[in-house]
């Protein structure tokens, strides 16, 4: 029987600047060039986001001035590697491992461009062996949190005696664009925050098992979510139909995934989902047949940290495991493509 990969250790970190939603609202009222009636309607987006605070790698005053794509990406490279170094050090300490014990690195991000890749940059900071194999993953958006962990699991399963470091960092707040008055950009300013996580995966050791993983990409859905590259950075693409798509289509995709692994919804004891936003959480509860308010860990993470894209699911998972480590859980996240990522985590 093939050994199953395990989640041996998990750590999450945030940058130093805490942004209170009330302060963000006050800035947004000044920065967006709209009439009084439109501003009033716009503020409802912030009130309904379900967020009290978020974290940013730059102070709130930074957003007052225009910034180009080149400057934003330089900031991304600096702060992303700093956060990954902190998260990796914490994850290694939790597992009693050293950087030299790591055999492979999977690095996930979609909020900046890194060539050399983030994993190579991280190697220059820490004592990794020079023969580690590396997999940088770009473009999966929020779904990258689950699918990146799945890639690390698959790599660990292919080499049962080895340890894989999975890192994810998203600096979503850097994507703010003053010149963009679109509803999608306004929603992004109400939701996005910065964060990072690191996990150690291996088939030898203690921790919940990763029993199955997979994904589903819907046809004719490329315009649902993503980025458009502009002179002043990455412009967010959000479809207003995302909550409806979750409510109507996600359950069938999840059932198909579980069925391929001999499982059904009755076999799942808990759901660990990327929260997205307040309306998305409500749609997730409906799709999975849960009572309203059941996804309390997702709501708590969203309220305290905002939407950190791919990194968010690791914050939700950390809280879920701290509260109830046993049982079988289904992880899920949605991203550009339009794609759903799934992973089954089992703990005795």
Residues with catalytic roles = 142
Query: Which two structure tokens, joined as six digits, stand for 236?
Result: 């967010």
Report the alpha-carbon distance of residue 345 to residue 209 in Å, rounded.
6
Query: Which two structure tokens, joined as six digits, stand for 29?
Result: 């009222």
Please report the sign of the dihedral spanned by the C-alpha atoms of residue 113, residue 110, residue 212, residue 106: positive
Give me Rg for the CA atoms of the chain. 19
Q: Strand 339-347's sheet: what is its strand order?
A: 133-137, 104-108, 163-171, 194-202, 6-13, 209-217, 339-347, 327-335, 270-273
Helices (H), the chain: 21-31, 36-47, 69-95, 118-125, 144-158, 183-191, 242-260, 278-287, 296-305, 312-323
3-state secondary structure of 254: helix
Asked if 54 and 176 touch (Cβ cutoff 8 Å), the reply is no
Find the length of the chain: 348
Cα torsion 37, 42, 47, 48 to 10°: value is 120
Q: What's the Cα-to-Cα distance from 323 to each of 92, 279, 318, rounded to whole Å?
A: 22, 24, 9
Half-sphere exposure of 87 (CA within 13 A, CB side): 30
Tell the burial category of 6 from Cβ atoms under 10 Å away from its Cβ (0-12, 13-18, 19+): buried
């Amino acid at each position: 029987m093939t050994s199953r990969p395990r989640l041996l250790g998990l750590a999450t970190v945030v940058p130093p600047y805490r942004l209170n939603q009330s302060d963000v609202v006050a800035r947004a009222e000044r920065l967006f060039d709209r009439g009084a009636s439109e501003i009033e309607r716009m503020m409802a987006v912030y009130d309904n986001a379900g967020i009290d605070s978020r974290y940013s790698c730059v102070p709130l005053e930074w957003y007052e001035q225009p910034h180009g794509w080149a400057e934003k990406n330089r900031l991304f490279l600096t702060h992303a590697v700093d956060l990954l170094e902190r998260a990796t050090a914490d994850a290694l300490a939790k597992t009693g491992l050293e950087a030299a014990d790591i055999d492979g690195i999977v690095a996930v991000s979609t909020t900046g461009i890194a060539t050399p890749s983030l994993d190579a940059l991280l190697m220059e900071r820490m004592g990794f062996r020079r023969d580690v194999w590396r997999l940088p993953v770009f473009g999966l958006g929020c779904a990258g949190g689950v699918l990146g962990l799945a890639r690390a699991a698959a790599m660990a399963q292919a080499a049962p005696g080895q340890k894989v470091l999975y890192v994810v960092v998203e600096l979503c707040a850097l994507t703010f664009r003053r010149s963009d008055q679109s509803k999608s950009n306004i929603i992004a300013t109400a939701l996005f925050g910065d964060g990072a996580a690191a996990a150690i995966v291996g088939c030898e050791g203690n921790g919940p098992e990763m029993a199955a993983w997979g994904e589903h990409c819907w046809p004719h859905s490329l315009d649902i979510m993503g980025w458009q590259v502009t002179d002043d950075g990455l412009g967010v693409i959000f479809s207003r139909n995302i909550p409806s798509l979750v409510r109507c289509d996600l359950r069938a995709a999840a059932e198909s995934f579980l069925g391929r692994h001999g499982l059904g919804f009755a076999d799942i004891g808990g759901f660990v989902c990327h929260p997205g936003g307040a309306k998305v959480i409500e749609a997730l509860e409906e799709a999975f047949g849960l009572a309203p308010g059941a996804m309390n860990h997702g709501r708590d993470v969203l309220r305290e940290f905002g939407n950190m894209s791919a990194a968010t699911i690791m914050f939700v998972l950390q809280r879920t495991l701290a509260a109830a480590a046993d049982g079988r859980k289904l992880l899920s996240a949605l991203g550009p493509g339009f794609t759903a990522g799934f992973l089954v985590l089992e703990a005795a």
